[in-house]
Structure 1
């Protein structure tokens, strides 16, 4: 049997995971199918790639030699798909992704229209949940990839910044702080706040910036924790408190002068939105095409 990329992908995943069962789960294959492909690879080269024991597997010298070539073949395949995705305008398929709440509710809807014009035959299925849930669903193979509001630290994930964003202090119409030319953090902290729940990317960015500035976010007067940006906007509009949200999420309300976004003097809540997916996963061409679209277009014109 001739050597093929599929075998190299399986070999690399087994080596990375350290077991046939973990590799099978990551690859959506049965363990016997993974074992069969590794045996075919070993038959092709006429040597063993793994030393098997009841508790663990280890690479043989031949396996250690093959490993960097398998990694290079995966990198080359990913690069090939990325480059060729520029030309797949007649591509048909279904784009399935998870998006954290701010991305899914306020960013991606403005990008999907232009994307659909360029790639009209790709249908989109988007699940809008928070960052923690997206990570869990990717790990359990319910999602292929996600777009989230804060970097994810996990050894099995490929993480790439694809969009930039800035959070602002959000105030209701007529709030007394709007009379000030400059709003300090001490000014803002005199008022109650309405925030997203723990685990959301928006809240994580706010807390990390407060910590860098020497402020303890736990001293904030948090009167509500709400699970959606829309609910927070409604509560702020009703003068129940202030919030810190993406400026892009109040574009409509700002145009109607219902809400106002202001900077806090000396503090910038800047962040990126990130694409995340398992290193062992080769994304479908529809997903590669969408990520290439985000990397290579001037997205500000739509946001």
Structure 2
């Protein structure tokens, strides 16, 4: 018995067929079948019941499955722990990132990572969550970073970073320069927001609903499909908005907009990493996710 066989067995059980497991593992179907047969020979018992439509776990297979799953997870955790000591990592790291993460959060963090691991080349695609999931399922991306949790039977979802939305107002606005304001006062002003369904919008509306406030009561004068467009509209005085501070650092430094706190209300959100359950992440990806978690830990200690 070896780990490779356990990994194959776990993937077959998760996928429900030899063909699907072979595709996920980039193996031929006969090779997958042979490894399962070797594992059954080792234990001296049938692990899977084959049929023309699908496979089913035997009683022995159901007993083995949680142990195989823990083995796969242990190897992943071991890779992650040891990658911190491996400075010679190399290869091509392909990831997808949703808009706010890809355009405003990650770029500042890629430089230090590249200096620490100069032999890893990073290819990042900025796209929406659905597109990221689709490319991961097609094995075109190693993993993705998204702004809201998803539920998919083939995906592992792990929290990696936190963010917080803040009220952003244009220079010269009535609320500019004030340390804190009441939510009731804020609701009187026109808003420029991201489109419905965006991660930023969902976080804002969710927190308002917790305060028993109907988001439809907001005076939304404009809905735009990108953070850059929202920022431009706010700078022009069209309205106020809720955005991540990381997305307006340049505008804040130039005094084009101001950031204001709302009393008794925090718009915190979690960023998540997603990847296929059936595929082990390459060491380069493990190292990158470990780096992001370390940055988040250090930010928490400084807070």
TM, length-normalised to structure 1: 0.91
- Whole-angstrom CA distance in 1 between matches of 2:84 and 2:174: 50
Q: Which moved more, 1:115-124 or 1:146-155?
A: 146-155
What do residues 188-233 of structure 1 show as CA deviations (whole Å, max 9, x unaligned)?
A: 2222222222332211111211111111112323333322211211
- CA contact 1:226–1:232 (8 Å) conserved in 2: yes
1:293 equivalent in structure 2: 291
| Aligned counterpart in structure 1 of residue 80 of structure 2, from 73, 79, 82 | 82
| Aligned counterpart in structure 2 of residue 275 of structure 1, from 265, 269, 273 | 273
- CA contact 1:131–1:199 (8 Å) conserved in 2: no
**1:152-171 alignment runs, 5 A limit:** 152-171=150-169
2:20 equivalent in structure 1: 22
For the residue of structure 2 that corresponds to 1:143, the secondary structure is coil
1:205 equivalent in structure 2: 203
Task: Confirm whether residue 50 of structure 1 aligns to residue 51 of structure 2.
Answer: no
Please tell me the root mean square deviation across aligned C-alpha atoms, in Å: 2.2
1:124 equivalent in structure 2: 122
Task: Return 5+ residue gaps in structure 2 as ranges.
Answer: none
- CA contact 1:132–1:199 (8 Å) conserved in 2: no
Task: Return 5+ residue gaps in structure 1 as ranges.
Answer: none
- Whole-angstrom CA distance in 2 between matches of 1:89 and 1:296: 16
- CA contact 2:93–2:142 (8 Å) conserved in 1: no
Aligned pair count reads 301
Q: CA deviation at 1:125?
A: 0.5
- Whole-angstrom CA distance in 2 between matches of 1:107 and 1:279: 26
For the residue of structure 2 that corresponds to 1:87, the secondary structure is coil
Task: Confirm whether residue 139 of structure 1 aligns to residue 140 of structure 2.
Answer: no
Moved segments of 4+, more than 4 Å: none
| Aligned counterpart in structure 1 of residue 229 of structure 2, from 231, 234, 241 | 231
- Whole-angstrom CA distance in 1 between matches of 2:195 and 2:52: 44
Q: 1:217 to 1:94 in 2, by over 3 A?
A: same
Q: Which moved more, 1:17-26 or 1:288-297?
A: 17-26
2:91 equivalent in structure 1: 93
